[in-house]
Amino acid sequence: MAKSWVNSWTDSAERIGADLHLDLSEPSGASGSGGRRAALTRALRDAVREGRLAPGTRLPPYRSLAADLGVARNTVADAYAELVAEGWLTARQGSGTRVAERAEPLRRAERVPRRTAQVPPRTRGPRHDLRQGTPDASAFPRAAWLASYRRALQQAPNEVFGPGDPAGRVELREALTEYLARARGVRTEPGRIVICSGFGHALRLLFGQDRSQDKGGGCAVLRGPLAVEAYGLGFHRELLAAAGVRTVPLPLDEDGARVDRLGRERAALLTPAHQFPTGGPLHPERRAAVLDWARARGGVILEDDYDGEFRYDRKPVGAVQGLDPERVIFIGSVSKSLSPAVRLGWMVLPERYVDDALAAKGEREAWASVLDQLCLADFIASGAYDRHVRRMRQRYRSRRDRLVAALATHAPHIEVTGVAAGLHAVLRLPPGTERSTVKAATWQGIALDGLAEFRHPAATEPDMPVRDGIVVGYATPSEHAYGAALEALCGVLPPPGE
C-alpha cells in the first residue's frame, strides 16, 4: 500500500490545518487486513508521537478515513481502538476520536537508563522524576562541603598534591573507621579499608576489569560464580558479566535472600540491611546462616550497604560484617547519603584480601580524587556528615510517610512492600498491571521503573516476593516538587480489581 496525504480531515473548527502524511507502506510479508491495520496503527502512532497530530486533534470518522486510504472501515476502527487502549487517542460519545490531551511522552534519549555507559546528553528531564537512585540533589550540603574543602586544602601538606596512595588517604580511612563502627557496627581498622570511587568500582576491583579491554581479566581478587539476589541493580549484573563473572540468582521471600539455597558459589552479594529494591531486611537467622555457609565453604559475603543509614522505624540493623569481619567485604559509598556525583566509596576487607585489592587498584591513586578524600575526611570528622544524614533521614522519612498516606487515601489497595527505610519504595500492583502502569506514568511525564527492570534474567517466578510492582524513588524530587509528583503518581495507579 502506498503513502497517502490525508487532507480531507481538515476541519477549520478543529485543530487540524496541515496535511498529514501517513506512510502505510507495509513491512515485507505483512499483507492482508491485519497488515493494513498494523500499518495504519503504526503510522497514526508515529504521527502523534512526533507531534504531527497535536493533542486534542479530532480524527476523521472511520468511513471517511477508510475511503481516503482505500481500506476497510473495520481496519480504521480497529486501529483507533488499539490506540485508545494504548492511551494515544481518546474516544468519547459525541466528540469522536481525538488525540489524547496528555503530557508529552518522554523522548527516547531521556528514557535511556542513567547507568548505561554512553548516556546521551539530556535535553529536558521528565516532569516528575521518581526514578530510584539519587538523593534529593537540591539538599546537597554545599556550604558545609565547601567549608570542609577549604579547611582540608588549608591544612593539606604538599605531598597531598603528588601521586596518591592506592589505599586512600589515611585521614579518610581513620574517619571511616570511627564512623562505620559507631553508625553501622562495622569492626575494622584503617589498614583494612581501601578507598574507591563507589560500589561499582569496588565490584570492578574485586572481580577484574572489563575482559574485552583486558584479556587477562585484570588481577581479580575474587572469582565467580557469584550468588546475587533475584532482584538487584542490572548495572551491577552487567558490570560483572563484562568481567566474565557468572551470577546465580538467589530466591527472595519476606525474610530476604534464601541463603539456604546457596550452592557451589564461593561468594554471595547481598543487601542485608534493606534488600534492593524490594525493601526487606535479611532475617537475623539468615544473617547467621550465611556466615555459617561462608565459614564452611571458605567463601565470602559482599555486603552492599548502599542506604544503611536510612532506617525510619527505630529498628536499625547493624552490618553483617560486625558479626565476622573475616567473612565479609563491607562496601559503602556516599552516593545515597550525599550524592552520586562525589564518586567516593570504601571497601572494608578481611585481612587476606587487602594486598590483592591494593594490587588491583594499581601503584597510585587513579580513581578517587585525593582532595575530595580529604574533604570527606573533614566532613565526617567535623560532624557535618552526621548532621546531614540526620537531616536527610527526617526528610526522607516524611516523604515515605506522605507516600503511604497518599496511597491510603487514593489507592488503599496498593501496598508498600518492605520496611520503612531507604530512598525508594516498591509498590505492589495488582497482577498483570505493571507494564501498563509504567506506560501510563510515562504518558503523564512521570519517570519511574517497573520491578521487572531489576529482575535477574535467570530468576523464575517462585524466586520473587512481588510479581508486579513499581519502584518509586521518593527521595529524588526536590522538596517543593514532591507533592505534585505524588499527586501525579496516584493518578496513574491501577484501580482496584484490575
Shortest spacing between CB 233 and ligand PLP, in angstroms: 5
Amino acid at 24: L
| Choice between 78 and 305, CB closer to ligand PLP | 305
Q: Which of 272, 279, 345, 494 binds ligand PLP (CB under 6 A)?
A: 345
| Choice between 199 and 385, CB closer to ligand PLP | 199
Is the bond leading into 496 cis (omega within 30 degrees of zero)? no
DSSP designation for 178: H
| The CA-based dihedral angle spanning residues 217, 276, 472, 427, taken in that order and rounded to the nearest 10 degrees | 140
Shortest spacing between CB 31 and ligand PLP, in angstroms: 48
Q: Cα-flanking dihedrals φ and ψ of residue 136, to 5°? A: -65, 105
Q: Does 340 bind ligand PLP (CB under 6 A)?
A: yes
Beta-carbon count within 10 A of 348 CB: 26
Q: Does 188 bind ligand PLP (CB under 6 A)?
A: no
Shortest spacing between CB 333 and ligand PLP, in angstroms: 3
Residues 310, 299: Cα–Cα separation, whole Å = 29
Q: Does 303 bind ligand PLP (CB under 6 A)?
A: no
Q: Which of 179, 207, 306, 353 binds ligand PLP (CB under 6 A)?
A: 306
Amino acid at 438: V
Q: Which of 78, 229, 304, 365 binds ligand PLP (CB under 6 A)?
A: 304
Q: Which of 75, 123, 77, 82 is nearest to 96 (CA)?
A: 77
Q: Which stretch binds ligand PLP (CB under 6 A): 65-73, 192-200, 395-403, 454-462?
A: 192-200
Q: Which stretch binds ligand PLP (CB under 6 A): 118-126, 196-204, 412-420, 455-463?
A: 196-204
Pairing label, strands 345-348, 415-416: unpaired
Binding mask 211-240 for ligand PLP (x = CB under 6 A): ----------------------x-------
Shortest spacing between CB 23 and ligand PLP, in angstroms: 42
| Choice between 198 and 272, CB closer to ligand PLP | 198
Amino acid at 92: R
Which letter, b or e, does each residue of 427-460 get, where b requires 16 or more Cβ atoms within 10 Å of its Cβ? bbbbeebbebbbebbbbbbbbbbbbebbbbeebe
Identify any residues that bridge with 226 across adjacent strands, giving them in sequence order. Answer: 247, 267
Q: Which of 187, 237, 336, 388 binds ligand PLP (CB under 6 A)?
A: 336
| Choice between 340 and 445, CB closer to ligand PLP | 340
Shortest spacing between CB 245 and ligand PLP, in angstroms: 16
Beta-carbon count within 10 A of 18 CB: 12
Q: Does 276 bind ligand PLP (CB under 6 A)?
A: yes
Q: Which of 57, 335, 436, 437 binds ligand PLP (CB under 6 A)?
A: 335
What helix, strand, coil percent values describe the chain, rounded to 5? 40, 15, 45
Residues 49, 165: Cα–Cα separation, whole Å = 53
Shortest spacing between CB 85 and ligand PLP, in angstroms: 34
Radius of gyration of the chain (CA): 27
Pairing label, strands 252-253, 256-257: antiparallel
Shortest spacing between CB 203 and ligand PLP, in angstroms: 8
Binding mask 121-150 for ligand PLP (x = CB under 6 A): ------------x-----------------
Residues 22, 70: Cα–Cα separation, whole Å = 13
Is the bond leading into 350 cis (omega within 30 degrees of zero)? no
Q: Which of 75, 173, 193 is nearest to 373 (CA)?
A: 173
| Choice between 133 and 465, CB closer to ligand PLP | 133
Q: Does 200 bind ligand PLP (CB under 6 A)?
A: yes
> Residue 394 is inside which H or E element, if any?
helix 384-410
Q: Which of 224, 177, 195, 203 is nearest to 380 (CA)?
A: 177
| Choice between 198 and 494, CB closer to ligand PLP | 198
Q: Which of 62, 80, 199, 443 binds ligand PLP (CB under 6 A)?
A: 199
Shortest spacing between CB 157 and ligand PLP, in angstroms: 29
| Choice between 278 and 333, CB closer to ligand PLP | 333
Q: For ligand PLP, which residue has the nearest CB?
A: 198
Q: Which stretch binds ligand PLP (CB under 6 A): 153-161, 167-175, 194-202, 437-445?
A: 194-202
Binding mask 380-419 for ligand PLP (x = CB under 6 A): ----------------------------------------
| Choice between 135 and 318, CB closer to ligand PLP | 135
Coil/strand/helix, residue 430: coil
At residue 431's C-alpha, the angle toward residues 434 and 400, to 5°, is 60
Q: Where are the beta strands (DSSP E) in 211-282?
A: 226-229, 247-250, 252-253, 256-257, 267-270
Grid coordinates representing 40 are 495504519
For ligand PLP (CB under 6 A), the number of binding residues is 14
Q: Which stretch binds ligand PLP (CB under 6 A): 59-67, 193-201, 259-267, 471-479?
A: 193-201
Shortest spacing between CB 332 and ligand PLP, in angstroms: 8
Pairing label, strands 300-304, 267-270: parallel
Beta-carbon count within 10 A of 205 CB: 27
Binding site for ligand PLP (CB under 6 A): 133, 198-200, 233, 271, 276, 304, 306, 333, 335-336, 340, 345
